[in-house]
Amino acid sequence: MRKTSPASAIPPAPRRRAPSRRAIATSLSILDAAEELFAERGYDGASVRDIAAAAGAQIASISFHHGGKAALFEKVVERRADELSKLRLDQLAQLHQADGQQTLNDILSAFLRPYLEKIAAGDPHWIAYARLVAMVSADARWRQIAERCFDPTANIFIDEIAALFPGVEKSAVAMAFVFSVSAMLSLSTSQWRIEALSGEAPAAATMDALSDALVRYCEAGLRAALER
C-alpha cells in the first residue's frame, strides 16, 4: 500500500525558517500590549494603532505576526487560558492520585486557587485576564473562543461536582458553577467597586483572606443551590 516514489511522496515541508530573535520579541511585545489594552478598553475600544505604539512596534506588524485584530484578540485570550487550564487540571489530577474521596472543597479549590494565587501575587497580566474572560463570557460574538478555551476544562469540573450531587441535573450544576466563576472574576473586574462600597476604612485585607472568603462563599452557595 505504500507509495514507491522516494522523497517526493512527502510534500516538501511547508515549514518556514525559524523566526529571528527580534521577530519573536516583536510578536511577544505586541501580544503583551494587546492584553493590557484589550482588558482596559475592550475589544472595540482598543485600536491597533495604540497597541502597536504601546508595544513599540509598527502597525503593520500586527497583521504580519498575528493576522489582524480579531486573531490577535483570540491569541491573547488563548495564551492565558491554556496556562490556567493546565494548572487547574494538574490540581485535579493530584486529587485523584491521593485517591481518598475528594470533597466539594477540594474540587472547587482545584479550580479557583490557581487563579487566586496568580492575582494574590499581584500579577497585572492575570488581573487583566479576568476582564478578558468576563468580556468573552458576556459577548456571544466570541462564542468560539469560549467553546475552545473555556468549555473543555469547565465541563470536567462540572462533571466532578455533579458526581457529588447524584440526582441533580447537570444544568443546575452548570448554573451554580457559572455563579461561582462570576464571583471569582468580580474579584478582579470589580475590585474598584468593592473598594468604593467598603466605606472609609480601607481595611488592608490580604489577598489570601479574600481568596479564602471566596472559596467559602462558593462552596456554601453551591451546596445550598444543589442540595435537596
Task: Give residues in contact with its own copies (CB under 8 A).
Answer: 41-45, 131, 134, 137-140, 143, 146-147, 151, 154-155, 158, 169-172, 174-183, 185-186, 189-190, 192-194, 196-199, 201-203, 205, 210, 213-214, 216-225
Specify the DSSP class assigned to residue 147: I
64 binds DNA (CB under 7 A): yes
* Amino acid at site 80: R
Instruction: Name which position in 28, 40, 42, 60 contacts DNA (CB under 7 A).
Output: 60
Q: Which of 136, 140, 124 is nearest to 74 (CA)?
A: 136
Q: Which residues of 190-200 are buried (b: 16+ CB within 10 A; e: fewer)?
A: eeeeeeeeeee
Residue 140 contact, options DNA, its own copies, none, Cβ 5-8 Å cut-off depending on partner type? its own copies
Beta carbon of residue 66, minimum distance to DNA (angstroms, whole number): 9
Residue 20 contact, options DNA, its own copies, none, Cβ 5-8 Å cut-off depending on partner type? DNA
Residue 194 contact, options its own copies, DNA, none, Cβ 5-8 Å cut-off depending on partner type? its own copies
Pick between residue 53 and residue 174 the one whose CB is nearest to its own copies.
174
Pick out residues in 26-45 that bind DNA (CB under 7 A). Answer: 26-27
Estimate the crossing angle of helix 104-120 against helix 170-189, to 10 degrees: 20
Task: For residue 168, report the phi and psi dihedrals to the nearest 5 degrees.
Answer: -85, 135
CB 9 within 8 A of CB 15: no
Instruction: Name which position in 57, 108, 128, 215 contacts DNA (CB under 7 A).
Output: 57
Q: How many residues bind DNA (CB under 7 A)?
A: 27
Pick between residue 86 and residue 148 the one whose CB is nearest to its own copies.
148
Pick between residue 56 and residue 68 the one whose CB is nearest to its own copies.
68
Q: By 3-state DSSP, what share of the chain in percent is helix, strand and coil, each rounded to 5?
A: 75, 0, 25
Specify the DSSP class assigned to residue 12: P
Q: Which of 108, 226, 228, 110 is nearest to 173 (CA)?
A: 226
d(CA 70, CA 34): 11
Beta carbon of residue 50, minimum distance to DNA (angstroms, whole number): 6
What's the grid cell of residue 121? 501575587
Residue 42 contact, options DNA, its own copies, none, Cβ 5-8 Å cut-off depending on partner type? its own copies
80 binds DNA (CB under 7 A): no
* Amino acid at site 103: T
Binding residues for DNA, per CB under 7 A? 16-20, 22-23, 25-27, 46-50, 57-65, 68-70
